[in-house]
Chains A and B, each alone.
Chain A
Amino acid sequence: MGKLDRFTPTSPLKRLVWTIGIVATAFMVMAPVYLLVKYSISDMESINTGGLPVPLWPYHPTFAVFSYLFTDPEFWQVVLNSLWIAIGTVLLSSLLGVPAAYVLARYKVPFRRAILIGIISVRLFPDISSVIPISVFFISLNLYSSFSGVILAHTLLALPYVIFIGMSAFEGIPRDIEEQAMTMGANQFQIFFRILLPIAIPGLAAAAIYTFLLSWDEFIFAHFLLDPGGKIQTLTLYLRSRITFQPPQNLLAAISVCLSLPVIIFSFAVQKYMISGMTAGSVK
């Protein structure tokens, strides 16, 4: 019996309930996406209908707001800023998190439990409550309104994920493999860089993608750490700055579409990594 058989309903009634469930779920997931896309290509007439119900599909679909966005140099500047911050966060959190994950997964670290709880506790507080002390601290370190400040803050947010995902990636590698390399003459560095790291890459890549997205759409820390009138703005701050007294809904939707694009792209990319089996075949 295949794995799927268990979930395939046999009786017509079960089949009906099952189908309704799937359709309802799909609707809940797709409805906001649909609204977002619809508004982003709506003409003003389809938004300000003057009392008439808003149409399900714009009367005259148009990419006008996208053209406006894509020709706005400020838009490109904030996209680039967000990109640099996200890439910086990925690099820094990997640089710090991956070795930490390896050591926590493989060595007898004193106070291991306390350290793990400490790491996870960063995520136990709501961002909004930790953002004030961190901002004050960063300002005292001259990190206010700088790339490094935001990157550091985002790294702080991402590290627990990198460390925990990384740990499970390293823990999944049988010890035999390491010991085998040892008997073949490899030292700890060679074992780490030639054996463990390449095997852990799928897990670490998932953590990196997650980190990228976390930084890309992070708002609170960026908001507190970057001067609202300053030179450095991120895409989320740019979106916020457009929400005025009477916000142009199609423009906001278009920015949101741009904000969501990496999420969609990476979700498809990650699928490939989710196919485990990297370690299959190494140990029976």
Chain B
Amino acid sequence: MSELIIKNIQKFYGDHKVIDKLDLQINSGEFVTLLGPSGCGKTTLLRMIAGLETIDGGELYIGGRKANNIPAQKRRIAMVFQSYALFPHMSVKNNIVFGLRIKGMELHDMFTRLDWVLPLLGLEGLENRLPREISGGQRQRVALARALVLDPDVLLLDEPLSNLDTALREMAMEELKRVHRQVGKTIIYVTHNQAEAMTMSERIAVMNAGHLEQYDTPGALYRHPRTMFSAEFIGSPSANFIPGTIEIKNGELVLNSEIGLLEIDETRKDYLRNFSGRSVVAGIRPQDIILSSTRTHRRASDSHVTLGVELIENHGDRSFVLGRFENGLPVRFMAANDSDYRTDARVEVLIDGRCIHLFDPETRQNILEK
């Protein structure tokens, strides 16, 4: 029993509301990521779960126990700080067993745990080094090992990879996934990096300004963003937003957008008929804007739009292209590198109506996903 339930939780710093009536339910053994921009309250929420910040409203249940007033020392959680917070005067080994010592564990059991965790994180041979004598990647692994030996109900990780360089970070991501598979702990992982969240998590809680925008699997977040914020934050590069209205033209339901008429997918027409005349914002992922020259078959839901290419960023197999629609609206899209386009060229692209997300400009909610 190590599921975690957050009900209507709130946090204030003076008058400043940092966490606003947030609900979150995390299953036992699940890997959940809190994702959001800097300052949205991820660390604060994590510290409330850890018991390092008071809870100003709502309830927190860890493993079925109401934990609001349980002190940090007794919550059966382990936390890895962004800074790793290794004890500088203790060897790697002593850092790892510190928590077990505090709990008064028998020496024999302590060594059993140590013998389990050192190979799990590839730390053999470093036992007697001081934190300042090992590399950043190794410190990150010591911090993780130190949390794992405690055998916590819930493992909290606050941006544990943000201090590593790209190559190391990718290795550490793989490793963390492997460790999660092996130990099956409930993990709450905090990051502002959507790619990290997408690769690692079973579910992602997208946070914005202290509230929850969407809580879904990575796939669902990508395909069905519930809010403009989700659409913008998930996926890289972020989605294009094009204002328009839903209209009936020649008896057909279409999206009359600033870049021209866009087709609406058949399956959505019935539902969207109720919205005709309404202003919307169309969210289109860069991956869903396709050079016409690279697609031979046409679909009824495809719309053709021309745009001017302004900047090409080569990513090896594909390029990220920055362009401008004829009305001057900037656009980002991805294009295969074997296709024919250059800077300053005019190209025709396809936008598949099935890939258009429609948002209410006022509430910024997706009008198709409820």
CA distance A246 to B266 in the complex (A): 117
Alpha-carbon distance between A199 and B87 when the two chains are bound, in angstroms: 8
A182 at the B interface (CB under 8 A): yes
Q: Is B103 touching A185 in the complex (CB atoms < 8 A)? A: yes
- B88 to A180, Cβ gap below 8 A? no
Q: By the criterion of a CB under 8 Å from any partner CB, how many residues of chain B are at the interface? A: 32
Name the contact of B85 in the complex, choosing from A179, A186, A190 (C-beta under 8 A).
Answer: A179
Given known pairs A179-B52, A278-B89, A281-B133, the reply for A184 and B84 (CB within 8 Å) is no
- Contacting residues, chain B, for A183 (C-beta < 8 A): 50-52, 72-73, 75, 77-79
Evaluate contact between B150 and A281: CB separation under 8 angstroms. Answer: no
Contacts of A284 in B (CB 8 A): 83-84, 136, 139, 163
Q: Does B171 interact with chain A (Cβ within 8 Å)? A: no
* Inter-chain contact B98/A184, CB cutoff 8 Å: yes
> Smallest Cβ distance from B303 to chain A, in angstroms?
49
The answer to whether A185 and B86 touch across the interface, beta carbons within 8 angstroms, is no
- Tell whether A153 is near chain B: CB-to-CB under 8 Å: no
Considering only CB atoms, which chain A residue lies closest to B76 in the complex? A185
Task: Flag whether A280 is at the interface (Cβ < 8 A).
Answer: yes
Chain A min CB distance to B103 (Å): 6
Tell me, rounded to whole Å, the shortest Cβ–Cβ distance linking B67 to chain A. Answer: 13
Which chain A positions have C-beta within 8 A of B78? 183-184
CB distance from A175 to the nearest CB of B (A): 9
Would A282 and B81 be within 8 Å (CB), given that A184-B98, A277-B132 are in contact?
A: no
Q: Cα distance A177–B82 when bound, in Å?
A: 11
Task: From the candidates A190, A194, A281, name the one contacting B86 in the complex (CB within 8 A).
Answer: A281
Contact of B88 among A185, A194, A279 (CB under 8 A): A279
Interface residues of B (CB under 8 A from A): 50-52, 72-75, 77-79, 81, 83-89, 98-99, 102-103, 130-134, 136, 139, 146, 150, 163
B73 in complex: contacting residue of A174, A182, A195, A282, CB < 8 Å? A182
For residue A13, CB closer than 8 A to chain B, the reply is no
Q: Are B132 and A182 in contact (CB under 8 A)?
A: no
Cross-interface CB contact of A283 among B84, B89, B133, B150, cutoff 8 Å: B84
The interface residues of chain A lying within 8 Å CB-to-CB of B81 are 176, 179-180
In chain A, positions 178-215 with a C-beta closer than 8 Å to chain B are 179-187, 190, 194-195, 198-199
Residue of A nearest to B98 (CB): A184
Q: Which residue of A lies closest to B162 (CB)?
A: A284
Contacts from A to B (Cβ < 8 Å): 174, 176-177, 179-187, 190, 194-195, 198-199, 277-284
Q: Are A182 and B52 in contact (CB under 8 A)?
A: yes
Interchain residue pairs with CB less than 8 A apart (6): A176-B83, A176-B85, A182-B72, A184-B98, A278-B88, A281-B133
**A186 is contacted by which of B84, B102, B146 (Cβ under 8 Å)?**
B102
Q: Which one of A180, A194, A198, A282 contacts B131 once the chains associate, using CB atoms below 8 Å?
A: A282
Give, as a whole number of angstroms, the nearest-CB distance from B4 to chain A: 15
Residues in A whose Cβ lies below 8 Å from that of B73: 182-183, 185-187
CB distance from A87 to the nearest CB of B (A): 25
> CA separation between A187 and B74, bound complex, in Å?
10
| Inter-subunit contact A199/B132 (CB<8 Å) | no
Nearest CB of B to A283, in Å: 4
User: Knowing that A199-B89, A281-B132, A282-B87 are A-B contacts, what are 9 other residue pairs whose CB atoms are under 8 Å apart, sorted by A's residue number?
Assistant: A179-B72, A180-B79, A180-B81, A182-B72, A184-B150, A199-B88, A281-B88, A283-B83, A283-B84
Residues in B whose Cβ lies below 8 Å from that of A199: 87-89
Known: A176-B81, A184-B150. A282 touches B86 (CB 8 A): yes
CB contacts (< 8 Å) of A177 on chain B: these are 85-88
Which residues of B are found within 8 Å of A181, using beta-carbon distances? 87, 98, 102
Contacts of A186 on B, CB cut-off 8 Å? 73, 98-99, 102
Contact of B87 among A179, A182, A195, A277 (CB under 8 A): A195
Nearest chain-B residue to A201 (Cβ)? B89
How far, in Å, is B295 (CB) from chain A's closest CB? 47
CA distance A184 to B145 in the complex (A): 13
Chain B residues whose C-beta falls within 8 Å of the C-beta of A190 in the assembled complex: 102
Chain B residues near A185 (CB-CB < 8 A):
73-74, 99, 102-103
Chain A: which residue is nearest B134 at the CB level? A281
Find the A residue at minimum CB distance from B52.
Answer: A179
